[in-house]
């Protein structure tokens, strides 16, 4: 624990030292841009609504994975300054223990003068990024081998999805037939293909995210890739007998 805390502290001190070499904020902004450019390429499959950081004026995508109790981060943004800011956070927090990230005092932000030189909207975005990362650290238990058979894992995933409902229909989305495919590989990576009853569905954004969150909460799931498709279009023929009975549609 002490080593992990020290690493976060050392990372912050290194950032403070590097920024001390610049006399004005034009140079510091240039350095931020360079840090953003140096970020590893972000996997396009994670540029989804689920991975967007809410509260940022710019678009920021953040992906996190947990391994051996540590959080590993990758990110991207559509603006160079914001990308540099998230690069700083990743540099300080990437690979650290979950509890240490959640409890970290990120004092380097004020020490380098970043907080004082951000517009109110960018400052709010920075706070949202930090909150997002800490939320991952708080709610992501280490993913360990559950010892469950593939059949048991499949049933557990189905049970998790059956907790998700369209708010306008009193039947879960599994029984409605909205899930077209659901697979998991040996590493715990889940692939889901789903649809909605209509492209104009009012929960078109929130329902897929809820599916991902339910699956990520399972101890054997490492990551979830979800595809929302409209072809083939959903029809009532996809509903199970349970759904038909509940909706009196026999």
Rg (CA), the chain: 21
- CB distance 80 to 33 below 8 Å: yes
Nearest-angstrom CA–CA distance, 130 and 76: 15
DSSP-derived 3-state class of residue 65 = strand
Nearest-angstrom CA–CA distance, 133 and 104: 11
Catalytic residue among 32, 35, 56, 215: 56
Ramachandran area for residue 26 (φ above 0: left; ψ -120 to 50: alpha; else beta): alpha
Q: Is 56 a catalytic residue?
A: yes
What is the maximum alpha-carbon separation in the chain? Answer: 75
Please identify every residue annotated as catalytic.
56
């Amino acid at each position: 624990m002490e080593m992990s805390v020290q690493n976060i502290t050392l990372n912050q001190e290194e950032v403070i030292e590097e920024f001390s070499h610049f006399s004005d904020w034009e140079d510091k902004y240039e350095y931020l841009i360079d840090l953003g450019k140096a970020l590893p390429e972000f996997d396009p499959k994670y540029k989804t609504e689920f991975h967007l950081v809410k509260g940022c004026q710019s678009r920021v995508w953040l992906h996190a994975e947990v391994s051996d109790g540590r959080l590993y981060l990758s990110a991207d943004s559509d603006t160079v300054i914001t990308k540099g800011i998230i690069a700083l956070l990743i540099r300080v927090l990437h690979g650290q223990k979950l509890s240490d990230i959640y409890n970290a005092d990120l004092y380097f932000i004020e020490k380098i003068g970043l907080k004082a030189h951000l517009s109110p909207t960018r400052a709010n975005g920075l706070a949202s990024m930090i909150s997002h990362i800490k939320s991952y650290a708080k709610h992501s238990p280490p993913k360990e081998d559950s010892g469950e058979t593939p059949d048991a894992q499949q049933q557990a995933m189905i049970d998790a999805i059956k907790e998700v409902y369209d708010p306008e229909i009193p039947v879960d989305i599994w029984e409605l037939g909205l899930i077209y495919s659901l697979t998991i590989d040996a590493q715990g990576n889940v692939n889901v293909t789903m649809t909605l009853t209509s492209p104009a569905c009012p929960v078109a954004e929130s329902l897929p995210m809820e599916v991902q969150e339910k699956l990520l909460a399972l101890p054997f799931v490492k990551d979830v890739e979800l595809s929302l498709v409209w072809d083939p279009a959903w029809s009532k023929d996809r509903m199970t007998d349970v759904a038909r009975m509940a909706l009196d549609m026999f």
